[in-house]
Structure 1
Amino acid sequence: MTHTRYVALGDSQTEGLGDADEAGGLRGWADRFAELLAEREPGLLYANLAVRGRLATQVRDEQLAPALALRPDLATVMAGMNDLIRPRFDAAAVADALEDMFAALTGAGATVLTVTFPDVGRIVPMARPLLPRVIDLNARVLAAAERHDVLVVDTFPHAAVTDARLWSLDRLHAGPLGHARIAAAMAHTLGLPGSDDSWTLPLPALPRPTPWRVARGELRWFAEFAAPWVRRRLRGRSSGDGRTAKRPALLPVARPVAAEREAAPVAD
């Protein structure tokens, strides 16, 4: 099936944090996915409504109506991780917001893709207690997707997606290689010609770090990334305050100006 109007809805992952472009802006998996689509359909138009820091209900309330106004024939919806890591997580409310978007977009004739979330405790050891939340939310996403014929990139079963080399130093956002793999996963799930399941394959093994290096890395991560995040939460602030979508209108897709970059392994 040919798609000519692609709209991405979501939060920081879809906005592209962790994957800077050559002009100093953000690229990200949605831009990369649009580029893959444009290779098959040169006339593709693409809009990205995602804004960092948004909760699932905010993505629905702020982005769904503008998305529908663009009359997409293809849409991606990725939201819920910002909810999942907050103390007052409500899986039912998150799933309801996602399902509202699934229903509205498919009802308007769009093919819709979404994702399940990986075991975040494999990326951030301090987040291991969140596994029951991840399992609960993923089950709700899969059920809602089935009710509305939404295609799902099911990341949870694949250990490769939690490899540190796919993630930026903050461990909250994919790095360039991670964004490239998400785009490849979307293409494979959509059935784009030339795509395959290589996004699920593990990277070459690395030597196991010493306990001291692991501990040092955890302390540095907490000081540089976790503590500032906690301070923003306590102040009722968000990284997305005052921000708007980076690509609110449907525009032609430009080819990347440089060859694909490989992500370096994440430092300890």
Structure 2
Amino acid sequence: MSDDDATGDTATKPGDDRGATYASFVAIGDSFTEGLSDLAPDGTFRGWADLVAEHLAALTPGFRYANLAIRGKVLDQVLEEQVPSAVAMGPALISLCAGNNDLLRPNGDPDALAKRLAKGIRELRATGAEVLLFTGVDPRDSPVIRHARGRFATYYLHIRSLADLYGCRLVDLWSMQGLRDWRAWNPDRLHLNETGHRLVAAKVLTALDVPDAGEWHKTWPLPTAPTASRTENARWAREHLLPWLGRRLRGTSSGDGLPPKRPNLTEWP
């Protein structure tokens, strides 16, 4: 993407506060940021963003956190519904991960998505907040989305360019080999499990230069049995793929009507 493709504005330079702590954090996006498939002791979804907030809160008294992400949201919904709320809250740190649900649709255009994403990034950076962007995991091992690998790779290259252009922090999940093992994923093969979210949280804290971030590298032991037998694949298709396809055909989302889990920027308990 050229500068003219992204914006006519002058690029924002990265801040000079590498290693600084953050007094407030707003997370926006879809199921990845909401934290699906990682259950907290009280039965609510936790996920990498909550884990990052917990770590930041331990470093900064009075730390505040909001999580506006809702499963199933496409990019335009995030830009229209969540970005203005994040801007109004004026936090020190904002994470933005969106567009993957768009790319799962046949008409998902990574170039068009990146242009719309750039507008949202400009709005967030204009607040003076540190902005955190994400590439996704390489989908070549996924039976659902590997056919769209080229679209995903193109979109993630745009995100890398936008992070550089606007001085955003970048979390590169594509390079995380530990996330290519299905033991880091929920049985639906679309959402990370507790282990996967913990690995991402460590990578996020490393990207922020936060002390004692933890280890995001993961080398799995060899499996004792095949991880994707024909019987397991058939069960997965029946329990997860067919309901997902049904929602796509009906034009509905698993997040329809759901509120964000932490809609206000409040102090971490």
Would you say same fold, with TM above 0.5? yes
RMSD, aligned α-carbons:
1.5
- Residues 65-90 of structure 1: CA deviation (Å, up to 9, x unaligned): 11011001101011122112111111
Taking a change above 3 Å as real, the CA distance of residues 203 and 42 of structure 1, as seen in their structure-2 partners, is: farther
Q: Secondary structure at the match of 1:200?
A: coil
State the TM-score, normalized to the length of structure 2.
0.89
Q: What pairs with 1:119-158 in structure 2 (closer than 5 Å)? A: 119-122=138-141, 124-158=142-176
Aligned partner of 2:261 in structure 1 is 246
Give the residue type in structure 1 aligned to 2:217: T
- Report deviation, 1:97: 2.9
1:226 aligns to 2:244 (yes or no): no
Identity %: 39
- Residues 112-145 of structure 1: CA deviation (Å, up to 9, x unaligned): 11111111231x2343222111211111111111
Q: Secondary structure at the match of 1:219?
A: helix
Aligned partner of 1:89 in structure 2 is 108
Asked whether the equivalents of residues 110 and 152 of structure 2 are also in contact (C-alpha less than 8 Å), the reply is no
Taking a change above 3 Å as real, the CA distance of residues 103 and 247 of structure 1, as seen in their structure-2 partners, is: same
Asked whether the equivalents of residues 118 and 156 of structure 1 are also in contact (C-alpha less than 8 Å), the reply is yes
Looking at structure 1, the residues matched to 200 and 172 of structure 2 have their Cα atoms a distance apart, in angstroms, of 11
Looking at structure 1, the residues matched to 51 and 235 of structure 2 have their Cα atoms a distance apart, in angstroms, of 31
Q: Which runs of 5+ in 2 are unaligned?
A: 1-19
Q: What pairs with 1:1-268 in structure 2 (closer than 5 Å)? A: 1-122=20-141, 124-195=142-213, 198-207=215-224, 209=226, 214-254=229-269
- Report deviation, 1:205: 2.3
Asked whether the equivalents of residues 161 and 200 of structure 1 are also in contact (C-alpha less than 8 Å), the reply is no
Q: Secondary structure at the match of 1:60?
A: helix
Asked whether the equivalents of residues 135 and 174 of structure 2 are also in contact (C-alpha less than 8 Å), the reply is yes
Give the residue type in structure 2 aligned to 1:23: D
- Report deviation, 1:201: 2.7
Asked whether the equivalents of residues 117 and 156 of structure 1 are also in contact (C-alpha less than 8 Å), the reply is yes
Looking at structure 1, the residues matched to 152 and 85 of structure 2 have their Cα atoms a distance apart, in angstroms, of 29
Q: Secondary structure at the match of 2:132?
A: strand
- Residues 151-192 of structure 1: CA deviation (Å, up to 9, x unaligned): 111111232212111111111111011111111111000000
Give the residue type in structure 2 aligned to 1:162: R
Q: How many equivalent residue pairs?
A: 250
Looking at structure 1, the residues matched to 65 and 257 of structure 2 have their Cα atoms a distance apart, in angstroms, of 23
Q: Which runs of 5+ in 1 are unaligned?
A: 255-268
State the TM-score, normalized to the length of structure 1.
0.89
- Residues 190-223 of structure 1: CA deviation (Å, up to 9, x unaligned): 0001125x3133222223518xx52211111111
Looking at structure 1, the residues matched to 177 and 99 of structure 2 have their Cα atoms a distance apart, in angstroms, of 20
Looking at structure 1, the residues matched to 260 and 195 of structure 2 have their Cα atoms a distance apart, in angstroms, of 23
